[in-house]
Structure 1
Amino acid sequence: MLIPVELPNAAVSVSGVWSAGSGRGTVVIAHGAGAGMEHPFLTGFAEALNALGFSTLRFNFPYREQGRRMPGPATHAIATWHAVVAHARSLAPESPLWAAGKSYGGRMASMAVADGLAVDGLIYLGYPLHAPGKPEKPRAEHLPAIAAPQLFIEGTNDPFIQPLSQFEEVLATCQDARVAWIDGGGHSFEVKGNKRAPEVVGASLAPLVAAFVA
């Protein structure tokens, strides 16, 4: 499907994939900065959520839709989140809805919610608190303003949240946040010595989401 998005200076459309569940709610899923919505990690995650009864809507950000590799302005991503959530609500008007995103996609969801987007909760699949090796530049100033429940699914070896003490300090500033740790996991939840296909890794996170929304 194509979802219309009104950007500050243009009207565009982005691709989306809707999969209906059995009435447990809707999870809208955004990709990370370096891969689109068809990445096996996200398809595995979505299919596992479908099996648990959730409807899912995966989508591309405009830069990815246009074949570019680098993300565009944050305002474009925020506008896209608003448009895609509105589209998801039109498909399942009575359904509770959660916004989920891998890394960049999750951070953009949090900025959209801080900007006024209404969702029942946020799910971060590896929140990129800062660029690796640059903890002096955290991306967290908007998180305390978010009233919706937030679930951070994080690998203990993720370089984007080291040192962990800084990440835990950020969590403490949030109104309603919890963390599900993946022991030994990196930024994509890869665990040294335990090689798994990306779709298997993504699927393994779905039960954490189900427990969170319950």
Structure 2
Amino acid sequence: MNQELTIPWESGTLTAIVDQAEHPSAFLILAHGSGAGKDHDFMSGFSHAMAKRGVSVLRFNFPYMDAGKKFPDKAPVALAVWKHVREWAGTHLTGDLPVFTAGKSFGGRMASLAVAEGMPTEALIFLGYPLHAPKKEEKLRDEHLYPLSTPMLFLEGTRDPFANPVIISRVVADLNADSELIWFEGGDHSFKVARSGRSVADDGARLSESTATFINKQLS
């Protein structure tokens, strides 16, 4: 079941959608990447597939996306939004379900920064972590990850220009023992594989099996 809703935020609201699992075992809060919002086919494909696997999903827009702006909110705003959405969901939506957090690229990185500042979550799930800008592998976005005791799942395409395979493999190996890295052969930053014949929604849905397996592992 799909439900559109609004989340109060400062002087306005954030738009959001809940994809409700029939008999949920967990609740996942999902943030979008920098270039496309909660309604993008990749986001909806992943979210719908997760609901079918027994995990209810809340996907929300950052303020800049609802305002129709091209450039993402600065980190302090994005972190404040993440913390607010997490708290609001815990009060209004999640009940007694264990709560996980996930994000596509920018959304996942902001989630991890919020967790580093104390935002509660059972685990972090990255749908393509932007470890570095393309061709700027000397500037890694990894320092805040090492102190975290939170389990982390990194889903990565082997052709992702934002995550050099050798470097991100080394980074994940140095994180806590409950962190995992799963590769999707031929996938780019959006997990698109050339000549695969899959739709964008299918590309998103394809990540649901690994995500659900990881969540169930944390629940066992």
TM-score > 0.5 by shorter chain? yes
Once residues 129 and 142 of structure 1 are traced to their aligned partners in structure 2, the CA distance between those partners, rounded to angstroms, is 12
Aligned residues: 209
Once residues 169 and 209 of structure 1 are traced to their aligned partners in structure 2, the CA distance between those partners, rounded to angstroms, is 21
Larger mean CA deviation between 103-112 and 186-195 belongs to 186-195
Q: How does 1:72-91 map to 2 (within 5 A)?
A: 72-90=73-91, 91=93
1:144-200: CA deviations, max 9, x gaps? 1221100000011111112x2211121122113101110111111111221311101
Once residues 75 and 12 of structure 1 are traced to their aligned partners in structure 2, the CA distance between those partners, rounded to angstroms, is 18
Shift of 1:23: 2.0
Equivalent of 1:199, from 194, 198, 201?
201
Once residues 5 and 80 of structure 1 are traced to their aligned partners in structure 2, the CA distance between those partners, rounded to angstroms, is 8
Give the match for residue 28 of structure 1. 29
Once residues 19 and 186 of structure 1 are traced to their aligned partners in structure 2, the CA distance between those partners, rounded to angstroms, is 26
Structure 1 residue ranges, 4+ long, deviating more than 2 angstroms after superposition = none
Once residues 53 and 211 of structure 1 are traced to their aligned partners in structure 2, the CA distance between those partners, rounded to angstroms, is 11
Contact 2:192–2:203, Cα closer than 8 Å, also in 1: yes
1:61-114: CA deviations, max 9, x gaps? 011111111012101111111111112212122001111110110000000000
Report the 3-state secondary structure (helix = DSSP H, G, I; strand = E; otherwise coil) of the residue aligned with 2:30. strand
Equivalent of 1:131, from 130, 133, 156?
133
Matched letter for residue 134 of structure 2: P
Q: How does 1:37-186 map to 2 (within 5 A)?
A: 37-90=38-91, 91-162=93-164, 164-175=165-176, 176-186=178-188
Once residues 96 and 28 of structure 2 are traced to their aligned partners in structure 1, the CA distance between those partners, rounded to angstroms, is 13
Contact 1:49–1:206, Cα closer than 8 Å, also in 2: yes
1:108-147: CA deviations, max 9, x gaps? 0000000100100011000000111100111111001221
Report the 3-state secondary structure (helix = DSSP H, G, I; strand = E; otherwise coil) of the residue aligned with 1:148. coil
Once residues 5 and 130 of structure 1 are traced to their aligned partners in structure 2, the CA distance between those partners, rounded to angstroms, is 30
Report the 3-state secondary structure (helix = DSSP H, G, I; strand = E; otherwise coil) of the residue aligned with 1:143. coil
Once residues 204 and 87 of structure 1 are traced to their aligned partners in structure 2, the CA distance between those partners, rounded to angstroms, is 29
The runs of 5 or more residues in structure 1 that have no matched partner are none
Contact 1:3–1:83, Cα closer than 8 Å, also in 2: no
Report the 3-state secondary structure (helix = DSSP H, G, I; strand = E; otherwise coil) of the residue aligned with 1:81. helix
Shift of 1:4: 2.1
Contact 2:169–2:181, Cα closer than 8 Å, also in 1: no
Give the match for residue 17 of structure 1. 17
The runs of 5 or more residues in structure 2 that have no matched partner are none
Give the match for residue 9 of structure 2. 5
| TM-score, length of structure 2 as denominator length | 0.91
Shift of 1:3: 1.1
| TM-score, length of structure 1 as denominator length | 0.94
1:6-62: CA deviations, max 9, x gaps? 5xxxx4421111122112111111100000100000001000011111111000001
